[in-house]
Amino acid sequence: MRKFDTITLHVGHEVQVEVTPLVQESIDLARKAVSLGSTKIDAVRQIYPKLSSEPRETIWYAIIHGVDLSSRGAVTYYYNMKREMKRH
């Protein structure tokens, strides 16, 4: 059975996201990293490569729920990671 959830973006509209096992695993990984003392950006660095082929809204969802950021923060972290990955 497929699981869906929504996120409300800072521009005021809701987006539906499929919460696949990969997405849930990434959220759990990010939460664990933060709880063990990693910074939020380091936690995002751990999950972004796993999710990079997913739609951006899905990655935002994982960042929001994995490292406890607002939608604006998630979008900022997403674009920062996207730029960082292009440089490497």
Give the position of tokens 């664990």: 32
- Sorting pLDDT into bands at 50, 70 and 90, what band is 1? confident
Say what the pTM is: 0.88
Residue 11's pLDDT is 67
Strand, helix or coil at 61?
helix
Q: Which residues have C-beta within 8 Å of that of residue 13, sequence separation ≥ 6?
A: none
Cα separation, 85 vs 16, in Å, equals 26
> Are the beta carbons of 73 and 34 closer than 8 angstroms?
no
**What average pLDDT score do residues 57-72 get?**
94
% of the chain exceeding 70 in pLDDT? 98
Tell me 11's DSSP state: T
